[in-house]
Amino acid sequence: MTFKISKNIDKFGTAGLFLTAIFSPCCFPLFAFAASALGLGSAELFGGWTMWIFQAMVLVSILGLYISYRKHGCLYPLLVAVPSGLLIFYAYHFNDNDNWIYFLYAGMFGMLAATIWNFQRNRLHKANEIVLRSIIKCPECGHSKEEIMPTNACTFFYECKNCKTRLKPKQGDCCVFCSYGTVKCPPMQGGENCC
C-alpha cells in the first residue's frame, strides 16, 4: 500500500490542486463555469483555507515528482514542476497587481504538464524494468521456491529442494526459469536471445 501511495503522490497532489480550484470558484474564476455546472456556483468549500490547501497540494505534487525522479532518473518533469510551483507561490504571496491570477493559472497548468510528463516517464520506466525474482515450481512434486535469476547466465539445470529432481528446460525454452518459473529470464524480458 505504501508503494502505491508513493508512486501516485504527484497525481494526488495535482488532482487535489485542480479540485481545490474547481470547488472554490470565487478564488478561481476560470473554473467558475465547471463549478457552476456541478451546482457549486457560489459555494466556497474550504472557506478561508482554500489557498492554504491549494499551496499544500502544490507541495505534495512536487514531493511526488521528486520521489518519481529518484526512481526513473528523468529530471525534466521536476524541472517543469518546480518553476510552476514557484510561480504559484509568487502569484499568491508577492504579486500585488491585478494580473496575479494569470501567474497562478500558468503555474497550475505547468504542474499539470509536469504530472502528465511524469506519468509517461513512469510508464516507460516500468516497461524497461526487469524482474529478477521468479517462483520456480517443480513439475514432479509441485514444490515452489522463489529464486533470484542470474542476469549474466542462463540456468540450464535446477535441482528441486524437495524431491531432488533435476529440472532442465522444456523443448524451445532457453532455461528452467522460462519453462517452470513465474517470470521469464532477464534476457527474454529484455527482448534478447537467451544465451
CB 68 within 8 A of CB 106: no
Residue 2 confidence (pLDDT): 43
User: Which residues is 135 bridged to in the sheet?
Assistant: 146
Give the whole-angstrom CA distance, residue 42 versus residue 40.
6
Give mean pLDDT in consecutive 10-residue pieces for the chain, a chain of 195 residues.
59 81 72 69 65 86 87 87 92 84 89 89 73 91 92 86 92 90 84 65
Q: Considering 128, 145, 162, which residue would you say is the last residue of a domain? A: 128
- 186: exposed, middle or buried (C-beta count within 10 Å: 0-12, 13-18, 19+)? buried
85, three cell numbers: 510551483
Residue 85 confidence (pLDDT): 92
**Separation of CA 119 from chain center:** 6
**Separation of CA 34 from chain center:** 27
Structural domain contains residue 39: yes
- Domain identity same for 29 and 12: yes
Structural domain contains residue 55: yes
- Domain identity same for 100 and 141: no
- Domain identity same for 23 and 113: yes
- Domain identity same for 24 and 119: yes
Residue 187 confidence (pLDDT): 81
- Domain identity same for 139 and 117: no
Range of the domain at 41: 2-128
CA distances from 77 to 74, 94, 117 (A): 7, 25, 6
Structural domain contains residue 195: no
Residue 74 confidence (pLDDT): 84
In sequence order, the 6+-apart residues with CB closer than 8 A to the CB of 131 are 183, 189
Q: How many domains does the chain have?
A: 2
Model pTM score: 0.58
Residue 1 confidence (pLDDT): 42
- Domain identity same for 79 and 164: no
